[in-house]
Amino acid sequence: MKFAVIVFPGSNCDIDMYHAIKDELGEEVEYVWHDRDNLDEFDGVLLPGGFSYGDYLRSGAIARFANVMEAVKKAAAAGKPVLGVCNGFQILLEAGLLPGAMRRNQDLKFICRPVTLEVVNNETLFTNAYAKHERISIPVAHGEGNYYCDEATLKQLVDNHQIVFQYADENPNGSLQNIAGIVNEKGNVLGMMPHPERAVDTLLGSADGLKLFKSIVKQWREQYVVTS
Q: Reduce the secondary structure of 70-130 to three states and give it as a string.
A: HHHHHHHHCCCCEEEECHHHHHHHHCCCCCCEEECCCCCCCEEEEEEEEECCCCCCCCCCC
Helix (H) or strand (E) holding 189: strand 189-192
Cβ-proximal residues to 223 (8 Å cutoff; 6+ apart), any chain: none
Rounded to 5 degrees, φ, ψ at 6 are: -75, 130
Count of the separate structural domains present in the chain: 1
Would residue 195 show up in a list of annotated catalytic residues for this protein?
yes
Question: What average pLDDT does this structure show over 157-173?
Answer: 97
pLDDT exceeds 60 at position 160: yes
pTM: 0.95
Report residue 226's pLDDT band, with 50, 70 and 90 as the boundaries: low
- Res 51: pLDDT: 94
Question: What average pLDDT does this structure show over 62-74?
Answer: 97
- Res 225: pLDDT: 60
Q: What angle do CA 168, 214, 222 make, to 5 degrees?
A: 125
Would residue 134 show up in a list of annotated catalytic residues for this protein?
no
CB 198 within 8 Å of CB 184? no
pLDDT exceeds 90 at position 184: yes
Handedness of CA 135, 141, 146, 149 (dihedral sign): negative
pLDDT exceeds 70 at position 227: no
Nearest by Cα to 136 from 197, 206, 84, 217: 206
- Res 62: pLDDT: 95
Range of the domain at 62: 2-227
What is the C-alpha end-to-end distance of the chain, expressed in Å? 14
CATH number of the domain that residue 127 is part of = 3.40.50.880
Q: How many CB atoms lie within 10 A of CB 130?
A: 24
Question: What average pLDDT does this structure show over 11-21?
Answer: 97
Alpha-carbon span 70 to 48, nearest angstrom: 17
Would residue 24 show up in a list of annotated catalytic residues for this protein?
no
| 13, 34, 86, 144: the active-site residue | 86
